[in-house]
Amino acid sequence: MKSHRAFRYILRYSIDPGFEVEARMEELVTFCRDAKVEEVMLLICAEELSPGHPTPEEVEPWIDMARTLRQRLAAESLAMSLNPWSTIFHNQRGRHLRPGQNFRRMVGENGVQSTVTVCPLCEHWQTYLGDLFARYASEISPSALWIEDDWRLHNHDKALGWGGCFCDVHMREFSRRVGESVDRTQLLKALLSPGRPHPWRSVWMDLSAETLLAPLQKVAGKIRHAQPGVRLGLMSSAPDMHSIEGRPWALMQETLGFQPAFLTRPHLPPYTQTHALAITPAVTRQTLVNLEGPLEIYPELENSPRCGLYSKSTRYSRWEMLHCAAFGSHGITINHFDMMGNGIALDPTFGRMLADAKPMLDALASLEIEDREAEGVQILIAPDVARYIELDAAERSMMSLFRSSITWSDVFYILGMAHGFQKDLSTVRPGQVTALCGFTADAFSDIDIHRLLGGSVLLDATSASILLRRGFGAWIGVQSGEWKSLEETGYSYEEIDEEETFPYGVARPRLCAQRCAARLLSMVPAGDTRVLSRIFTANHAPLWPGALLTENALGGRVVTLTYPVEPNAQFFMAFFNRFRREFLHRIVFELSAKATLAAIDTHPMHAYRYSTSKGILLAALNPLDDPAPGVTWKLPTGTSASRKWKHLTRAGNWQTIEPTLQSGPWCERLHFETGISALDGAFFLGHPISREDGDGTS
């Protein structure tokens, strides 16, 4: 990638070819110039203006308009990419197939047939879409053509349940592969059977993967034949949901190509503004670790239902862009204005924020951050985790195979702990602390698990129960474990086994347990396992450990929690507070003194740590409505004194700053007086004190 790269604004925008086209084009050019937008991603037949799968006659005026717009933008040195809004088709919303469109329609898991969403294996539709997209590429000549995130098997309409496709063609092909006649009901019973996954689950996911890949290869081939130079980009949804459809990430990348890097628009929640502390870009970063090779990353900055400030404030949009820059995005795709052709009038002040934020975003982009190199605790994920999930009882929907494997990320964001993601245990760094939650452990072999448990590991209760079942209890310090419900035992609170009042302010601090999860794992410690906290009833009767620490025969150190770290109705209401933050900070830092860790003390913050060519970057983002008077970082002892620090101004300049340093028994605290406003960020760059400052970080 180029040095000193800028943070690229890509504005997703719709112009109705029959509604004041000239006026819309001119105000768009003005907006891009003033807001410092580098590229327009033109949408065709999007949302309210989508008639269904458009006919060749219907797209004629869109193509004419797009050609004119591309020339107008090029005159202003602005690029134009293209985003045909529909492929398989998002949702029915009263749309139907048009005369002559003899496409086979998707059949949901419940047997319901869509009115408009297609079966991706339909050859008539594949030919139609390939010809249509090839026509867009050849007649418009966009810089890139983006494949919409409706290229998926799920979330096409609530009427279909989880999604499809369970049409006759799919059922016949599946029956051929397993060597017997199978209907949809029989298949679902096998896919969702309790206990160890039925062998048919992998066969079905292989077929689902081909369902996504085969038409993509055909369509991409036609596009390249028509316009060899056009780049192809992929939009995507939540990876844990894509796991249920067996998404072949690497093969899809290979199909779309690297020119010179794979062009990706990962999902970035939320679409409508909500509490920033709890809504994190975990899904976005999980997408990136699923992808191979060089990447060009433009997360979606969505404003839904696209009603300007009534949906999302400009401060919140800026906050999301700071996050994206902090984990190494090359820019952002901005979906702010409506799709009906109203133009900029919906929110004429939005461009001012974009222009104001650009210097800071450009300065962060110039650091060329690679999220694959994120420091801090590493969350282990498995792209194909849905193949291994063991269900407790027969379920009626494929949605039961959706289990979050990245909730540790939300926990670490909320508690101000820098972290990253990895999917390959061969890349574990010396001293690394690795965290597992959900069903991730079952996606790895016994050899991998042995390697993992020889290091520093943080487990939630679900991971621990899986490792117990697989015979690894001795290595995690748990002799036995049994799930206990709140109704059965009346567990009430957790008490930390700490007599000193520092840093909690009270000895033996208590944390709510009864509102954190509907069930906890009652653990019996093994051997010399240390009990860090205990669960009690309301009348103070001890029940079982809340957290265990063991040093095993493999040379590893493992901490196991009684809590299943998974999102549910009450999890975020009770699990998080100042005591929990201090407790988990200390646990992680004491797991490994060699790790490149970073956590933020006092004010709740979202945290990042990276080693860049210009020094160590520490990023603190304030998710609260309350301003922070300063920020205190917890870092491994002995890592800060030898560095000179600078902080990033809103003008995009790095200015020298003198923090105060306080050493402690298990970490050192580095305090910066820099105040951080609500929904804003502070960025600190530290390089060895022996290096000349020069202009390298300006």
> Coil, strand or helix: which one is 143?
coil
Among 670, 697, 669, CA closest to 685: 697
- The pLDDT score that the predictor gives to residue 569 is 58
- The pLDDT score that the predictor gives to residue 691 is 44
Residue 603 sits in the same domain as residue 641: yes
pLDDT tens, position by position, 55-83: 999 999 999 999 999 999 999 999 999 99
Is the pLDDT at 642 greater than 80? The verdict is no
How far apart (Å, rounded) are the C-alpha atoms in residues 77 and 28?
13
pLDDT, mean of residues 553-575 = 88
- C-alpha to C-alpha distances, 416 to 336, 360, 509, 562, 698, nearest whole angstrom: 29, 22, 20, 21, 27
Q: Give the domain-ending residue among 589, 609, 628.
A: 589
Is the pLDDT at 512 greater than 80? The verdict is yes
Residue 529 sits in the same domain as residue 410: yes
How far apart (Å, rounded) are the C-alpha atoms in residues 322 and 366?
14
pLDDT tens, position by position, 252-262: 999 999 989 99
Place 695 in a pLDDT band, splitting at 50, 70 and 90. Answer: very low
Is the pLDDT at 265 greater than 50? The verdict is yes
Here the contacts of 180-185 (C-beta below 8 Å, separation 24 or greater) are 184/107, 184/109, 184/111
Among 141, 335, 158, 316, CA closest to 235: 335
How far apart (Å, rounded) are the C-alpha atoms in residues 421 and 435?
9
pLDDT tens, position by position, 422-467: 999 888 888 899 999 999 999 999 999 999 999 999 999 999 999 9
Count of C-beta atoms within a 10 Å radius of residue 42 = 26
pLDDT tens, position by position, 194-238: 999 999 999 999 999 999 999 999 999 999 999 999 999 999 999
Is the pLDDT at 193 greater than 60? The verdict is yes
Residue 522 sits in the same domain as residue 621: no
- C-alpha to C-alpha distances, 212 to 95, 258, 313, 467, 612, nearest whole angstrom: 23, 19, 36, 33, 37
Answer for the pair 515, 570: CB distance below 8 angstroms, yes or no: yes
Among 614, 578, 615, CA closest to 599: 578
Residues 6+ apart with CB under 8 A from 445: none
Among 396, 436, 454, CA closest to 161: 396
For tokens 């390959």, the residue is: 424
Start-end of H helices in 327-396: 350-365
- The pLDDT score that the predictor gives to residue 289 is 97
Is the pLDDT at 44 greater than 60? The verdict is yes
Determine the Cα angle at 6 with ends 298 and 339, to 5°: 40
How far apart (Å, rounded) are the C-alpha atoms in residues 293 and 123?
31
How many residues belong to the chain?
Answer: 698
- The pLDDT score that the predictor gives to residue 696 is 41
pLDDT tens, position by position, 360-417: 999 999 999 999 999 999 999 999 999 999 998 877 899 999 999 999 999 999 999 9
Query: Cβ-count burial of 266 within 10 angstroms (0-12 exposed, 13-18 middle, 19+ buried)?
Result: buried
pLDDT, mean of residues 326-351 = 95
- In the DSSP assignment, the letter for residue 103 is P
Is the pLDDT at 694 greater than 60? The verdict is no
| Strand 654-657 versus strand 300-302 pairing type | unpaired
CATH of the domain at 681: 2.60.40
| Helices 168-178 and 184-191: angle between axes, nearest 10 degrees | 60
Q: Give the domain-ending residue among 549, 566, 589.
A: 589
- The pLDDT score that the predictor gives to residue 5 is 87
How far apart (Å, rounded) are the C-alpha atoms in residues 156 and 113?
11
- Inside any domain, residue 2: no
Among 330, 268, 319, CA closest to 606: 319
How far apart (Å, rounded) are the C-alpha atoms in residues 564 and 577?
17
Residue 529 sits in the same domain as residue 559: yes
- In the DSSP assignment, the letter for residue 185 is H
Cross-strand bridge partners of residue 435: 379, 458
The end-to-end CA distance of the chain, in Å, is 19
Range of the domain at 546: 377-589
Output helix, strand, coil percentages for the chain, rounded to the nearest 5.
35, 25, 40
How far apart (Å, rounded) are the C-alpha atoms in residues 296 and 551?
42
| Helices 21-35 and 56-74: angle between axes, nearest 10 degrees | 40
pLDDT, mean of residues 615-642 = 93
- The pLDDT score that the predictor gives to residue 4 is 65
How far apart (Å, rounded) are the C-alpha atoms in residues 273 and 285?
20
Residue 540 sits in the same domain as residue 445: yes
Count of C-beta atoms within a 10 Å radius of residue 673 = 12
Residue 620 sits in the same domain as residue 668: yes
Among 552, 543, 539, CA closest to 524: 543
Return the percentage of the chain with pLDDT > 90, whole number. Answer: 90
Residue 618 sits in the same domain as residue 572: no
Its pTM stands at 0.96
- Inside any domain, residue 645: yes
Answer for the pair 607, 599: CB distance below 8 angstroms, yes or no: yes
How far apart (Å, rounded) are the C-alpha atoms in residues 597 and 585?
10
How far apart (Å, rounded) are the C-alpha atoms in residues 462 and 480?
13
- The pLDDT score that the predictor gives to residue 697 is 43
Q: Taking the mean position of all CA atoms in its chain, how far away is CA 258?
A: 21
| Strand 615-622 versus strand 606-612 pairing type | antiparallel
pLDDT tens, position by position, 665-692: 899 999 999 999 999 999 999 998 764 4
- Inside any domain, residue 652: yes
- C-alpha to C-alpha distances, 160 to 101, 113, 173, nearest whole angstrom: 21, 7, 21
- The pLDDT score that the predictor gives to residue 371 is 97
Residue 495 sits in the same domain as residue 561: yes
Residue 577 sits in the same domain as residue 681: no
- The pLDDT score that the predictor gives to residue 639 is 81
Q: Give the domain-ending residue among 542, 568, 589.
A: 589
> Coil, strand or helix: which one is 531?
strand
- The pLDDT score that the predictor gives to residue 455 is 96
- Inside any domain, residue 101: no
Average pLDDT, the chain: 95
Residue 573 sits in the same domain as residue 625: no
Query: Cβ-count burial of 651 within 10 angstroms (0-12 exposed, 13-18 middle, 19+ buried)?
Result: exposed
Residue 467 sits in the same domain as residue 604: no
- The pLDDT score that the predictor gives to residue 571 is 72
CATH of the domain at 480: 3.40.50
Answer for the pair 542, 494: CB distance below 8 angstroms, yes or no: no
Say whether the peptide bond before residue 270 is cis (omega within 30 degrees of 0). yes
Q: Count up the domains in the chain and report the number.
A: 2
Residue 462 sits in the same domain as residue 559: yes
Among 576, 476, 566, 584, CA closest to 519: 566
